[in-house]
């Protein structure tokens, strides 16, 4: 094995790190200070599963109301498996990362069919479920089934970076692997779920990204970064690229109190969400923009429109894109056969469909316009 190095060394905890004391002190703090969260009422695997999917890249406060509504509508794996996809998407509207909703339902159907409705309890089986990656697998296995598996999220990487003075870039996948190895050595048998949650709770409440509350930290004594006074400089994380600007022309096409909407493809950005028809443009001339819009609606919906007036501009920023939308009110001139992805819907009934936030902003623009006139 030429060039192969011993992999154990970088995954070994420092000799001076007192594992038992750390885990014990952290759990004692967690037992008395943990927040009362809706998904901590019990350890039902399905409840834990839904919460972990919702919490991916999403704040606790934001998730709370969505979680309550979702569990009421889809209280069991079976209920979620049998539900129409549109209802699941509607329950997810506004949460973002909508593929989570589709993957969750697809996985629920898989669990129903393959595992009799019981969420699998082994790393091998649970990892096959759509939307369940390394973190979520460890979270479900430890919290719901008390398996000794790490659940390394952004909180845990920050906590461990400071605790052990790790200078690895936490944006790199290899760093998560390394920290998983380290965490695994520290998980107390019998309290794996609480321990993983305690690490995350510490990251969320005390060992926060900016201005960590070291003076009230239950594991202050174990923290190498604090001893060196560098806790504010950790973790190391590469900077994200700025979002790329995109210029879009949006058509609000009215016909007898109805408006034309379009369902986006089931893959890619905002998959399966409804929208007002829009087309990307590069040109700067106003007339050319309207021509592009006319041509696009003719090609895609076999509809002839007339652009009436500009309703204004709307901006919406995603992680990687910045949509600069120019919104035009349009008249429906002719066309009677819409493609299956398009519909003409009464304005009062738009709420039935699931729209991303970018299009709710357009609806607000329409509302402002009608309020003025």
Query: Residues 50, 88, 89, 95: which binds DNA (CB under 7 A)?
Result: 95
SS3 call for 249: strand
Burial class of residue 369, CB neighbours in 10 A (0-12, 13-18, 19+): middle
Asked if residues 117 and 74 have their Cβ atoms less than 8 Å apart, the reply is no
Nearer to DNA, 54 or 224 (CB): 54
Specify whether 82 is catalytic. Answer: no
Asked if residues 244 and 274 have their Cβ atoms less than 8 Å apart, the reply is no
Exposure class string for 310-327: b at 16+ Cβ within 10 A, else e = ebeebebebeeeebebbb
Residue 173 makes contact with DNA by CB under 7 A: yes
Cα separation of 18 and 20, whole Å?
6
Return contacts of 139-143, CB within 8 angstroms, 24+ apart: 139/48, 139/52, 139/196, 140/45, 140/48, 140/49, 140/52, 142/187, 142/192, 142/193, 142/195, 142/196, 143/43, 143/48, 143/193, 143/196, 143/197
Residue 239 makes contact with DNA by CB under 7 A: yes
Nearer to DNA, 132 or 259 (CB): 132
SS3 call for 255: strand
Residue 210 makes contact with DNA by CB under 7 A: yes
CB of 318 to DNA, least distance (A): 5
Query: Residues 80, 270, 307, 327: which binds DNA (CB under 7 A)?
Result: 270
Residue 100 token pair: 């989570």
CB of 334 to DNA, least distance (A): 33
- The DSSP-derived string for 201-243 is HHHHHTS-SSS--GGG-TTGGG-HHHHHT-GGG-SB-PPPPPP
Cα separation of 88 and 95, whole Å?
12
Nearer to DNA, 230 or 288 (CB): 230
Nearer to DNA, 84 or 268 (CB): 268
Residue 7 makes contact with DNA by CB under 7 A: no
Sole window of 118-126, 184-192, 195-203, 276-284 interacting with DNA (rule: CB under 7 A): 195-203
CB of 89 to DNA, least distance (A): 10
Residue 136 makes contact with DNA by CB under 7 A: yes
Sole window of 17-25, 77-85, 280-288, 313-321 interacting with DNA (rule: CB under 7 A): 313-321
Q: Which residues pair with 253 in a beta bridge?
A: 330
Residue 64 makes contact with DNA by CB under 7 A: no
CB of 39 to DNA, least distance (A): 7
Residue 70 makes contact with DNA by CB under 7 A: no
The site for DNA, by CB under 7 A, has a size of 63
* Residue linked to tokens 């039902």: 44
Query: Residues 50, 80, 89, 131: which binds DNA (CB under 7 A)?
Result: 131
CB of 348 to DNA, least distance (A): 22
Strands 321-334 and 244-255: parallel
Nearer to DNA, 7 or 244 (CB): 244
| Catalytic pick among 8, 15, 16, 52 | 52
Q: Where does 218-327 have alpha helices with state H? A: 224-228, 286-301
Query: Residues 123, 133, 190, 339: which binds DNA (CB under 7 A)?
Result: 133
| Residues designated as active site | 52
Q: Which parts of this chain interact with DNA (CB under 7 A)?
A: 37, 39, 51-52, 55-62, 94-99, 103, 130-137, 139, 153-155, 158, 172-174, 197, 200-201, 203-204, 208-211, 237, 239-242, 244, 268-271, 316-321, 356-358
């Amino acid at each position: 094995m030429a060039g192969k190095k011993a992999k154990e060394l970088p995954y070994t905890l420092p000799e001076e790190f007192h594992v038992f004391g750390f885990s014990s002190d952290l759990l004692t703090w967690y037992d008395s200070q943990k927040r009362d969260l809706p998904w901590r009422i019990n350890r039902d695997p399905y409840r834990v599963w839904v919460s972990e999917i919702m919490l991916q890249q999403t704040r606790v406060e934001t998730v709370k109301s969505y979680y309550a509504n979702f569990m009421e509508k889809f209280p069991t794996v079976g209920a979620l498996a049998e539900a129409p996809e549109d209802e699941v998407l509607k329950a997810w509207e506004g949460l973002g990362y909508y593929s989570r909703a589709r993957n969750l339902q697809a996985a629920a159907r898989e669990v129903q069919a393959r595992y009799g409705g019981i969420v699998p309890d082994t790393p091998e089986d649970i990892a096959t479920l759509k939307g369940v990656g390394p973190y979520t697998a460890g979270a479900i296995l430890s919290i719901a089934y008390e398996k000794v598996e790490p659940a390394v999220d952004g909180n845990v990487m920050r906590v461990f970076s400071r605790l052990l003075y790790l200078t690895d870039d936490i944006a790199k996948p290899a760093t998560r692997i390394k920290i998983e190895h380290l965490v695994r050595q520290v998980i107390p048998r019998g309290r794996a779920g609480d321990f993983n949650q305690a690490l995350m709770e510490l990251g969320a409440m005390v060992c926060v990204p900016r201005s960590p509350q070291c003076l009230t930290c239950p594991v202050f004594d174990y923290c190498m970064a604090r001893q060196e006074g560098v806790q504010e400089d950790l973790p190391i994380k590469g900077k994200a690229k700025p979002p790329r600007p995109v210029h879009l022309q949006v058509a609000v096409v009215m016909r007898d109190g109805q408006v034309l909407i379009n369902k986006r493809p089931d893959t890619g950005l905002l998959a399966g969400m409804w929208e007002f028809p829009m087309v990307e443009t590069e040109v700067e001339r106003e007339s050319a923009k309207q021509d592009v819009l006319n041509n696009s609606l003719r090609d895609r919906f076999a509809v002839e429109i007339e652009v009436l007036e500009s309703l204004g501009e709307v901006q919406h920023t995603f992680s990687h894109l910045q949509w600069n939308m120019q919104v035009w009110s349009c008249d429906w001139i002719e066309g009677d056969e819409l493609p299956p992805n398009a519909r003409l819907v009464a304005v009062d009934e738009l709420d039935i469909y699931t729209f991303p936030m970018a299009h709710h902003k357009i609806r607000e623009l329409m509302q402002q316009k009608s309020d003025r006139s």
